[in-house]
Structures are given as structure tokens and as C-alpha cells.
Amino acid sequence: MKCPFCQQADSRVLDSRPVEEGAAVRRRRECATCGKRFTTYERLEEQPLMVVKKDGRREPFSHQKLLHGLALACRKRPVSTEELSDLVAAIERQLRQTALAEVESRRIGELAMQLLRHLDEVAYVRFASVYREFNDVHSFVREIEKLGRY
């Protein structure tokens, strides 16, 4: 693994631990040349999962894109980066367990809302407002009333 600071290939692993509910390994490394520390992640290479968008376009599933959308919904909320990474990993795991090569973006949004609801209700409403394209305040009220029923 090349050091991101000096580009030398010699580094040693200081610490390894499972993350994303065991789906990845986080390694803390130290460069043998410059002594700086950096973190790497090791994940299983899987078959590409294609997302079918509302307009019919297809694009590869993006862990980062989903994480970014959820992070925006959780902005200024007491939700850690690790909790969000675990949530995205859980969504991706559920999608891959179907053994389908393609999944509709609607399915990803529904899974995200389902898991986000249990993590943080405010973030859930924020995400739902964008995902479901609320057009007025009544849409917000209806969604918040649904929360009271769960």
C-alpha cells in the first residue's frame, strides 16, 4: 500500500478491526519511510450492482453516493459517521442478498428510509422530504403523523 504522503510502498499495519458489521476491515498503517499514519479499508470485490433510475437510466450502485445523501439528512444530528457507514453497508447487503444484478432506485430509497427511521426520526423526515418530493407542508405533516403510529 503506497503512503498517501510520500508515495513509498513500505508501510506496516498498526491496528486492524472489522467495520460495517464485518463487511470490511479497517487498517491503521504507518509509513516506514516518513512515519506518517493513514487508514485503509479492505472490502470484498463483488459483482457490480446496477441501479435503475426513475427515468430508466442505469448506473452502478455507489456506496459513496448513498452515504452522502444520508449524511445530508443527518447533518447536525447525533448520528456518527460509523452509524451511517453501517446503515449503508446494511442496505447494500440486503440488495446483494436478492442476487439480482439490477435494483430500482425506489427500492434503495425505501430501504434507506426504513433503516433511517429507527436511527433518527428527524433525519428520516429530512430524507423522506427529498426522496418523496414533498410539494407542500401538508405532505410533511402527513409523514410526521405516520411516525407517531410506529
Domains of the chain, by residue range, sit at 1-45, 46-149
For the segment 49-58, what is each residue's pLDDT rounded down to a tens digit? 899 998 999 9
> Interhelix angle for 105-119 vs 63-73, to 10°?
40
| Residue 8 in this model has a pLDDT that exceeds 80 | yes
Structure confidence at residue 149 as a pLDDT band (50, 70, 90): low
Residue 21: left if φ>0, alpha if ψ -120 to 50, beta else—which one? left
Task: Provide the percentage of residues in the chain whose pLDDT is more than 90.
Answer: 45
- pTM here is 0.60
Q: Mean pLDDT over all residues of the chain?
A: 87
Of 87-91, 110-114, 122-126, the poorest mean pLDDT is in 122-126
